[in-house]
Structure 1
Amino acid sequence: GNSSNGGYSAGGPAPGEFVDVLNTWEKLGDDLIEFYANKGFYRTGALERGLFDLDLSGGTEREKAEKAFYYLRDNFVNEGEDWIYPTQSLSQLLKAKKGAPGDLILAYMGILKSQGITCDPVLIGSKGYGRSDLVMFPFLNQFDEILLLAQLDGKQQFIDLSDPMAPFGYVDIDKHVKGGLLLQKGKSQLVPIEVKHNSNNMVIASIELNEEGELVMQNTLRSYYYSGLRVAHIAEDYGKAEKPLEEMFEGKDEVMQVRNAKVENLLEEKNYVNSTFEYVQAGAGEQELLAFNPLRISSFAINPFTQEYRVFPIDFDYPFSEIYTANIKVPEGYEVDDFPTNENITIPGSLVSFNYAVENIGNILKVTAKLDIRVSLMPVESYGDLKYFMETVAAKLSAPVILKKVTKP
């Protein structure tokens, strides 16, 4: 390529292209900065003309950054491959009002810079793109996506614009990697990437026999951060396909019918998504025995690990907890016939743990369970332990509680 575009063709270097061994991270960074600058992404004049209706006067740096983020996210169409090379110049992007995630994040960088906010691109090799550890040599071909690192009111903040449903500060799961290349003129360097979040799921179920003789389980599922984002995406897909939300929560058996499903996306305000729905078993009141699984909503009620051996480490995406509480109101004229025993289990190294308990409080049978996954990447050598552990978890989470009618003497 000629020197005007930093020596790269628009699509970036071809795989296996000759790499100058004397390259340094600084030189690599400067080349890329020059490439972005030639596309107009370090100039702020065009932005001020093109985004004249975006008012960023007043507020903290974080407030300005959030406002600009939502402005771009909600007024520009996000389409195309997430890639480190912009697909168009800044002025083309402003005219078209649509672009790939890389175009949008670089334009966003320009907006923040125009406000005097320190921010720079960070190149990363997304999960599944290359190796999980960066090679310590300045090879550009190990990077495929861009994050932005900003200093907002003295605090570091990673920002990503690749998912149109993700709130400010959320980083696509594929970009939760160990480190990346921070691009700064003359001093580009590898930096660690840390994205803190508690993406837990909490489930509360209350179970009773209603006056119509139906067994009703009312469920509230609260999914935080990235777990919530996942639920929001699924609900969105159901909406687009015009499928009823009830189908999202249907189980394998046909005994229980799903009713009144609602999914409320509160990620921007509260960092969680709230799902409510009922499982209903008709005609339950006519049976001598009521057998049901109080924690049937768990995705781990079926063991996901069934192969005997494993070659690659197991990636859970991120550490998380699942916390379940079910309150079963024992109906008048019934007694508790059987329920699962308590359980407390972990594996060597305590990478995961699970506890399960049942207690009787008056006419309420309370079932609680908690699953803790403490690391996102499980080493291969833990696979046998994990498989056995998950079998135990699945057995407990799918175990029934049995109530039976009291026989009158």
Structure 2
Amino acid sequence: MVFSRILVSFIILALSPLFLFSQEMRFGKYNDFEFNFNEVSFDPEADAVVLQESCYNLFSGIVLGSKIHRRIKILKESGKEQADVTLRYFKGDDNIQDLFKIKAQTINLINGEIQIEKLSKGDFYEVDAGDGWKEIRFTFPGVQIGSIIDFSYEKTDKSIVSLEGWVFQNEIPTLKSIYDITFPSFLRYKNLTQGLKTITHNYQTKTKGNYRWELENLNAFKTEPYMAHYKDYLEKIDFQLDGYEFREMDGYGTDLNKYEQLFQSWQDLAEYFTNRTEFKSYLEPKKKQAEITDINSNELDTLQLANNIYKHVTSQYKFSGLSSIVPTKKLNETISSKNGSRAEINLSLIAHLRHYGILAYPLLISSKGNGRSNLVPFPFIDQFNHLIAVSLIGNKVFYLDATNSDIPFGFLPSDFLVYQGFLMIEENSGLMDIKIPHSSGYNVFSNLELGKNSIKRESTIKVMDFDYILNSGLFNEINESNDVFQTKLLPKSGNPEVIQTISITENDKKENGLLINYTATKELDSGKNLYITPFQLLRWEPNPFVRASRVFPVDFNYIFTDRYATKIEIPEGYVLDDFPENASMTLPSGAVSFNFNVNVMKNTAIVNSIISVKNHIIDANEYPDLKYLMDIISSKFKEPMVFIKKSNNTEIDKPSE
């Protein structure tokens, strides 16, 4: 009898998640599963969990009404920070959104008794967040490990061209997330899904115009090494109005139903922007309005002329920090003030380039962190957040952002290194691939002289393209202080080499590179064996990939190739006794490869290594292979060359491998 009771209890416990998922939450109603839940099976380290959340949406005329409910369980002490809640909405000047009917309460089970602490009206604080945004902030009282915090509210939204949508993941794991929406018959929307679970979910229901997503066991979004923009990979759903039905009387008095489609083509979307008065002033400037007085175009080839125009704009125009995709000022105002948003400055650059006969057009992009890893392949207005310039010179395409003078002509900030953009031209506007030719990476060449009591290293580091551009601040610091170079680029433990001389020079052939020449020495214990590491890893030190698994892809930002070569003269009286084995590895996808090779010829050892990243995005499924490869790279760069003192029985030469 006791066994049967235990079995029944076990079955109830095992099936309790199904009970939870089979029923909708009701505010103020709680069950045993929620009180007994204490660990997330797919994330055991989680300090809190969303037990269930829902968003039900229904139109009233052309206003969208939403009912939102979220229930969270606190699992650990650090999870108590979930008690602080901020609800953000856009009110604007026309009350675009409104938020009301907020209910919130803390639930604790103490000695088998349910205790509830409700928040009153005075516990909710409205804050002006600027630029039309409002926030409602509140804190749950009495929160402890095991508490359930429960809140709900309603929201209205008059902005129906692009609906706010729903993100199914949270900063803590989510057991169940529901998004339900019912569209009126006269409005038609395109749904824009992202994430495997969202894309593959069967959202159709038996009710006409009703769509429903129910996703379960969703990972928390956490910052991981080489993934600063996890928002681009979240499970989410957005909507854009495709068109609407309306009634119209024809000339004979007949009542007709008609349908108006928005943005039938990319050209429609382009003209939506370019036909604006402010926008048009940049694309069709008045005569000589975009002339630059201190540029003599007759003495320059087209590429040099474009480069000089770019330098003029980056040095003379001040970026306001606003990254809108449409200008609010006309060209003459921007030129006069020498100040503007990213759209206004880059459109001014386009106007200047066009004035001198150089083809240039606006290009809209969705930068990293904007919430979408790939552009939607149809005219979707809300997916873009930056306007840059694209120019065709000869048979080469150059991408330009004139808001930062530290970025050379033809390069972009790291967050702008995306796959596609929306090209707006007079005809046939559409998506275009973004490819920036470059040869980024480090080339490190060293000569090591081994004396009786010291090592002397003479090295040249060639830093190329994005590795220089995106780290220019670091190299400026190095140029000012040997200590910075010692700290940033050389080993910090053991008996490190000490910098004696260092010089940094710009690469004469290209402005987006530099050379670092330095000498360093290291004292050795005389009379003992020598342990020499041929070179130092300039990237990934320490190894950033230590977690056993990963949720999001790895993003190295750009492709690159690092080359290392060190020549070591074997000192008199020593013989090379041991050295790292040769290695050659490549990820299954071919995205990353590694080669390590040692050649020994009489009194000289030459060590070479190449690390090549051919695809800067590594899928999370390939992370275990990447982690293993990085472990090999890290260990290889730490393995020493071992030189031992000769004796009468010691071989003079070590055979090559």
* Alignment TM class, shorter chain as reference: 0.7 to 0.9
Return 50-59 or 134-143, whichever deviates more. Answer: 50-59
Residues 30 and 188, structure 1, Cα contact 8 Å, conserved in 2? no
Match status 1:354 vs 2:594: yes
Higher helix share: 1
Residues 479 and 504, structure 2, Cα contact 8 Å, conserved in 1? no
Which residue of structure 2 lines up, in the alignment, with residue 41 of structure 1?
282
After the TM superposition, which residues 270-289 of structure 1 pair with which residues of structure 2 at under 5 Å, given as runs?
271-282=512-523, 284=524, 286-289=526-529
- Structure 2 Cα separation of the partners of residues 238 and 200 of structure 1: 18
Closer, same or farther: CA 331–133 of 1 in aligned 2, 3 Å: same
Which residue of structure 1 lines up, in the alignment, with residue 464 of structure 2?
224
After the TM superposition, which residues 10-409 of structure 1 pair with which residues of structure 2 at under 5 Å, given as runs?
17-19=159-161, 20-21=241-242, 22-24=261-263, 25-35=266-276, 37-38=278-279, 40-45=281-286, 48=289, 51-78=292-319, 80-86=321-327, 88-185=329-426, 187-209=428-450, 213-236=453-476, 244-256=484-496, 257-266=498-507, 269=510, 271-282=512-523, 284=524, 286-300=526-540, 302-407=542-647
- Structure 2 Cα separation of the partners of residues 12 and 197 of structure 1: 42
Closer, same or farther: CA 228–49 of 1 in aligned 2, 3 Å: closer
Residues 39 and 88, structure 1, Cα contact 8 Å, conserved in 2? no
Residues 50 and 94, structure 1, Cα contact 8 Å, conserved in 2? no
Q: Which has the higher contact order (CA 8 A, sep 6+)?
A: 1
TM-score scaled by structure 2? 0.55
- Structure 2 Cα separation of the partners of residues 241 and 357 of structure 1: 34
- Structure 2 Cα separation of the partners of residues 241 and 84 of structure 1: 41
Which residue of structure 2 lines up, in the alignment, with residue 4 of structure 1?
none
Residue identity in the other structure for 2:533 = N
Closer, same or farther: CA 236–48 of 1 in aligned 2, 3 Å: farther
Closer, same or farther: CA 34–239 of 1 in aligned 2, 3 Å: farther
Residue identity in the other structure for 2:314 = R
Deviations 1:302-344 (A, max 9, x none): 4321111111111121222211101111122222232111112
Residue identity in the other structure for 2:463 = S
What SS class does the counterpart of residue 389 from structure 2 fall into? strand
- Structure 2 Cα separation of the partners of residues 365 and 258 of structure 1: 23
Larger radius of gyration: 2
Closer, same or farther: CA 259–46 of 1 in aligned 2, 3 Å: farther
- Structure 2 Cα separation of the partners of residues 166 and 194 of structure 1: 16
Return 312-321 or 153-162, whichever deviates more. Answer: 153-162
Residue identity in the other structure for 2:417 = H
Closer, same or farther: CA 41–12 of 1 in aligned 2, 3 Å: farther
- Structure 2 Cα separation of the partners of residues 196 and 378 of structure 1: 20
Identity %: 24
Deviations 1:219-238 (A, max 9, x none): 21112211222342322356
Closer, same or farther: CA 88–399 of 1 in aligned 2, 3 Å: farther
- Structure 2 Cα separation of the partners of residues 249 and 169 of structure 1: 28
Residue identity in the other structure for 1:69 = Y
Deviation, 1:125, is 0.2
- Structure 2 Cα separation of the partners of residues 247 and 46 of structure 1: 55
- Structure 1 Cα separation of the partners of residues 158 and 647 of structure 2: 79
Deviations 1:155-193 (A, max 9, x none): 333223243222211122322222111112454322222
Residues 482 and 502, structure 2, Cα contact 8 Å, conserved in 1? no
Residues 289 and 403, structure 1, Cα contact 8 Å, conserved in 2? yes
Residue identity in the other structure for 2:612 = D
Residue identity in the other structure for 2:588 = P
Deviation, 1:392, is 1.1
- Structure 2 Cα separation of the partners of residues 30 and 84 of structure 1: 14
What SS class does the counterpart of residue 263 from structure 1 fall into? strand
Residues 294 and 401, structure 1, Cα contact 8 Å, conserved in 2? yes
- Structure 2 Cα separation of the partners of residues 16 and 200 of structure 1: 50
- Structure 2 Cα separation of the partners of residues 279 and 297 of structure 1: 16
- Structure 1 Cα separation of the partners of residues 461 and 481 of structure 2: 23
Higher strand share: 2
Closer, same or farther: CA 235–46 of 1 in aligned 2, 3 Å: farther
Deviation, 1:133, is 1.1
Residues 54 and 71, structure 1, Cα contact 8 Å, conserved in 2? no
Deviation, 1:391, is 0.9
Residues 246 and 258, structure 1, Cα contact 8 Å, conserved in 2? yes
Closer, same or farther: CA 239–140 of 1 in aligned 2, 3 Å: farther
Residues 167 and 267, structure 1, Cα contact 8 Å, conserved in 2? no
Residue identity in the other structure for 1:188 = S
Return 391-400 or 215-224, whichever deviates more. Answer: 215-224
Structure 2: stretches of 5+ with no match in the other structure: 1-95, 97-130, 135-156, 162-240, 243-260, 650-657
What SS class does the counterpart of residue 612 from structure 2 fall into? strand
What SS class does the counterpart of residue 321 from structure 1 fall into? strand
Residue identity in the other structure for 2:625 = D
In the comparison of the two structures, how many residue pairs are matched?
398
Closer, same or farther: CA 241–358 of 1 in aligned 2, 3 Å: closer
Residue identity in the other structure for 1:341 = E
Return 265-274 or 301-310, whichever deviates more. Answer: 265-274
Deviation, 1:402, is 1.8
Deviation, 1:98, is 4.0
- Structure 2 Cα separation of the partners of residues 138 and 240 of structure 1: 50
Return 80-89 or 311-320, whichever deviates more. Answer: 80-89
Q: CA RMSD in A?
A: 3.2
Residue identity in the other structure for 1:272 = G
Residues 569 and 604, structure 2, Cα contact 8 Å, conserved in 1? yes
Structure 1: stretches of 5+ with no match in the other structure: 1-8
Closer, same or farther: CA 46–107 of 1 in aligned 2, 3 Å: farther
Which residue of structure 1 lines up, in the alignment, with residue 246 of structure 2?
none
